[in-house]
Structure formats: C-alpha cells, structure tokens
Chains A and B, each alone.
Chain A
C-alpha cells in the first residue's frame, strides 16, 4: 500500500510538473518533449489503476505517433522561440482566470467531499477490465456499434481532408 502511494504521488508530481514546464517553455521543441514526459507519467498512473491496455495504447498513440507528428511539424515549420503575444492583463483574461479558479474549486470540493456514494469497484474486476482480452471482447460485442460508427466518422474525415487538400490549387 505504501509503495503504491509512493508511486502514485511521485508520478502525480512529475506529471503536473512536466505539464507546467511544457506550458512555460518558449522553445516549442522542448515544450513538446515535456509533453511526452507528461504522457509517460500519465501512462504510469494508468498502470497503478491496473489499466495496462490504456497505458500501453496511450504511449503508442500519443507519445509515439501523435507526438512524432507534432515534432515533425514543428521542425518543418522551423518555429523559433515563441514571442510573447501580449503582456497586458485584459478583463477577458481576468474573467477567464476567475472562471477557471471557480471550476478548480468546484472540482476540489467534489473530490474532497463527494467520494461517498460513488459506486465501488473491487480490484479483481478492475484487473479484468484492464486487459486486452476483455477490452477486445467488449469492443466487438457490446460496443461493436460505436466502433463501427467510428469508421464512418473516419471516412467522413478522410473525404474532408481530400476536399481541403484539393481546395488550394483550383
């Protein structure tokens, strides 16, 4: 139990820290690398929740494929250090900050007070849920339909991409 707590807190601190570092970096490449670190930490958190499949997929898809794409784009565009867009504190920023703060407080209050009444799941079930086998079974039985709809969604996206790509040279 203690070991689990140690792992959880160290991963949590690392993920929040890397997220903060990512946002504050001026150099986009370094920022992207911090994002990858953040993804790894999150994957670790998934592992502590017994969700092996999601952890692996998270690393493969996000840290692997998408981040590589990101880095490519950044390098191809040859972005330099980001200039500060604006320093002034506008009313809009204050309102946005206030709303974010309110949301944070609300969420905190939920996490602090609202844990009772939540459905309980025992670890055995969780262990089972996290496996590839279980997910595969669910995906092709109960969730077959959404899975298929996703394919149509992707088809529409491909058609759209073609349309966008064809648009320029007219």
Chain B
C-alpha cells in the first residue's frame, strides 16, 4: 500500500507543486503581506513549475491512488492548457488595475487562483465519481469567491451569489444522478461502470435519468444552455482576469471531465480500438443525441443574445457560451476525430479568447469602461492594440488565416465525416451570426470617430509584449497548424481505452 502511494505520489508532482505553492502564498502573504506583489510571483513560479512537471508527464499512461486519478496524454494535455492559461492570467494580473488597486488582498487572490488551478488539474485526470465531485467542488468554491473578489458594488455580490446558488443546485442534481448511477452499476470508478455496463444490461430509463442529472453538473461547468444563467452576470461582475480564467480554463476542465466520463464509462472499450476511431455506445444508449440538442441550444442562444449586448464583458460571456456550443459538436460525433477537434479548438480558444479579454482589460484600465461605446475611435487612439483585437475577433468568428478557422475546420470535418450534416450546417450558420457582433466592436474601433477624449492611449512595452505573446500564435497556427493537430492527435488517448 505504502509503495503504491509513493509510486502514485511521484506521478502527482504537478499537483503537489501547486499545493506547496498554495501553502507558500499563504505564508508569504503573512510575512510580506500588505501591498506586495510577492504572492503573485510565488503563484506564478508554482504554476510554471507545475506546468513544466505536467509537460514531463507526456507519454505516461496510468492511474494513480487506486484508480482515483488518471495520468494519461489526455489529462496531461488539459493540465498544460490549464497551467498555461493560469500563467497568462497571473501575467495579466500584474497589469490589471483591479488587482493592483487591491494588493492588500493579493495573497488570497493568488492562493485561490492556485486552488482553482489545482481543482482543474484534478478535473483533468479524475476517473472516479468521487474525485469528479471533489474536483468540481474545489474549482467551484474558489471561483465563487474570486468572482466576488474586487468590487464592493452590488453587481459583484449579486454575481457571486447567483453563481453559488446555481452551483449548489447543479452539484446537488449531479450528486443525485451519480447516486442513481452507482445504484445501477455498483461502481464509482469510470472503468468499473464501463465493466458493469458491458457485463449486464441495466434499466434504460434509470440510466437516462442519471445521465441527464449528471449532464446538469457538466452543463453548469461549461455554461451550456439551459444551465448558463449565471455566466453573463458572473462574467460581468468578476474582475476581468478571473472572467478570462473562467471562460477558458474552467470550461476546458469541464469539457475534459465530461469527455473522460462519457468516453471511459459509456463507450464499448472493445470496439473503440478500431482504426477508424469511431466509438460505439454501450447498450445502444444514445446519450450523444442529448448532447447534440444541448449543443444547438447553446450556440444558437449564445450567439443570438450576444448580438444585443453593449457591455464587452457580457458580449464575450455570451460568445463563450456559443463557443461551448461549438465544442459540444465535437463530443456529439462519438469519434476520436471529434475529440481531437475539441482539443484543437481549446488550444486555439486559449489564445484568442484570452487575447480578447486581455485587450478589454488594458482598455478598461485606461478608459475605466467596458462599454462598446467607449471603444469608438480606439483604432485611431491605439492602433496596435486595436488591430490585435480585430485579429482576435476574426479568429473567434472563425475566419482564415487565423487559428480560429482551423478550430472550426476540424470541428466541421469531424461532423461531416460522421455525416452529422444538419448539425454542421447549424454550426456554420451560427458562425455567420457571431461575426455580426464581433464586427460591431470592430466597427466602433475603426469606423466611428472617438467621442470626447481623442488622446492617444499608450501602453507600456511589457503590456504590448503580452498582446504579442497571444497574437502571434493566433496567426501562426492559422497558417501552420501541424504542431497543434499533432499534439491533439497524440492527446486523445485516455488510460485503459486504447
């Protein structure tokens, strides 16, 4: 037992690092405390190390701690994604006026970001229902508090409260579903569920009810319609850094967990090894049809409502809902191609969405407003940042030659390959709608003249360097996407499935 634990611990280095960093931030803020960025740097160091250690785990495929957590290419991929976005978020924080004006709480801020990252790392690997709930809870709890972090205003508190209530309800429903699933299969680990479902048939109504209930929990985490109500308010009320983090990392972790849960538990493990990479559901249970409906609802509602938004954070919130809808299409097709497409989309989404949020943050720092109207004439006041924003938006809309196009291309490719043609058409039409609201912002930046203050806005070199850090991959991967696709292809492998 002890050897097994030690063996597991050696594979648990990234998470251990995060835990150590988490405790260190608490201690550091106790001694260096007040008005110091020290804790941010401690957190940054911890995250860089943890990401590096995750990188080191590439190619490993095993489960640790008696099957609680899987360390496999799939989880490593998401750990890298979460780690990278957390690093970027902390870099953003160094230049965020919201964080810098509340430096006396920076210790708690860093600690909670680390706790959130840790929760997401666990979500990426969790392969047991118990771990699944714990990881979700750890992530959610930290994000509840960070969502209400800075502003004293009522919108922040309202956002936080809404978040908690929705979170509690959806977790409750999910737990109920889990208990039914446990009752049906007698197992809490995904592999055990798979075995039980392979060996004997279970009541299909019960299975359906439990899956729908569990989907509520996932839907909340990835903000899929109709579990999205918290998203716009929380995104608007939370500090921009946290909003950006929630929109990318939290969503990624939710998808990772969902895809692992479905693929490991409900896919015929004997048939999945076929060279075509097409999955077969156990017991003919077509859970992907439910996901298809969710996907259509999510992207359509997200895009249509985004058209009416005048606050850029809200607009990006709805756009992130729509993007969750696109990515759900990749889950629907039940194939490794679809899974790889989702992974590719997340890589792209990391750069373009964080980029868009970062520009919003920089502009809000200077103008104090996130309103679309405050972007009028920005193209003349700050050309470089505005051009970067245009490219991020074009990428979000999915136009070549940006990386966003590659993401969409592979999603549609997976759909058409599996002849889900109607869904592909819905997705394609949705991306046309999405262009409209992205272009509204572009229009204000370049086609309108500045209202009132037309002074140029200047940014410091490191601030612009971070813009470039996000902009260059967005363009580069649009033209040369081989590394991205190769990484995704290698990362679809989950432990025990193939």
Contact = CB atoms under 8 A, between A and B. Distances in A.
Contacts of B278: none
A4 B196 CA distance: 31
A110 B209 contact: yes
Residue among A142, A144, A167 with the highest chain B CB neighbour number at 10 A:
A167
Interface stretch (B140-148, B327-335, B403-411): B140-148
A159 B108 contact: yes
Interface size class of B (residues with CB under 8 A): 35 or more
B26 interface: yes
Nearest to B69: A145
Contact of A163 (B66, B138, B145): B145
Interface in A17-39: none
A164 interface: yes
A114 B204 CA distance: 9
Contact of B115 (A141, A150, A156, A167): A156
A113 to B, nearest CB: 7
Given A160-B141, A162-B108, A149 B5 contact: no
Contact of A159 (B5, B26, B134): B26
Interface in B126-170: 128, 130-131, 134-135, 137-138, 141-142, 144-145, 148-149, 152
Contacts of A81: none
Contacts of B108: 159-160, 162-163, 166
B65 interface: yes
Given A145-B65, A146-B68, 18 more contacts: A110-B180, A110-B203, A118-B183, A119-B196, A141-B1, A142-B66, A145-B8, A149-B122, A149-B134, A152-B22, A152-B118, A153-B138, A159-B111, A159-B112, A160-B108, A160-B144, A166-B105, A166-B108
B149 A163 contact: yes
B200 interface: yes
Contact of A150 (B69, B134, B183, B185): B134
A40 to B, nearest CB: 22
Nearest to B102: A170
Nearest to B144: A160
A153 B138 CA distance: 5
B19 interface: yes
Interface in A126-170: 141-146, 149-150, 152-153, 155-157, 159-160, 162-164, 166-167, 170
A117 interface: yes
14 contacts: A110-B180, A110-B203, A110-B206, A145-B8, A145-B66, A145-B131, A146-B128, A146-B131, A149-B131, A152-B138, A156-B138, A160-B108, A160-B112, A163-B108
A118 B184 contact: yes
Given A149-B122, A156-B142, A160-B144, A117 B115 contact: no
B209 A153 contact: no
A163 B25 CA distance: 14
Contacts of A110: 180, 203, 205-206, 209
A119 B186 contact: yes
Contacts of B196: 119
B105 A159 contact: no
Contact of A143 (B111, B130, B200): B130
Contacts of B8: 145
A118 B152 CA distance: 52
A117 B205 contact: no
Interface of A: 103, 106-107, 109-110, 113-114, 117-119, 141-146, 149-150, 152-153, 155-157, 159-160, 162-164, 166-167, 170
Given A109-B205, A145-B68, A146-B131, A167 B152 contact: yes
Contacts of B65: 144-145
A141 B135 CA distance: 19
A142 B1 CA distance: 9
A147 to B, nearest CB: 10
Contact of B134 (A141, A153, A166): A153
B365 interface: no
B172 to A, nearest CB: 13
Interface in B27-41: none
A139 to B, nearest CB: 11
Contacts of B419: none
A168 to B, nearest CB: 8
B201 interface: yes
B447 interface: no
B432 interface: no
B200 A117 contact: yes
A159 B22 CA distance: 11
A157 B65 CA distance: 24
B6 interface: no
A150 B138 CA distance: 8
Contacts of A143: 66, 130
B202 interface: yes
A59 to B, nearest CB: 21
A106 B205 contact: yes
B290 to A, nearest CB: 15
A98 to B, nearest CB: 15
A141 to B, nearest CB: 6
In the A-B complex, list the 3 residue pairs whose CB atoms are closest, starting with the nearest. Answer: A114-B203, A145-B65, A160-B145
Contacts of A145: 8, 65-66, 68-69, 131
A58 B69 CA distance: 29
B209 A106 contact: yes
B141 A157 contact: yes
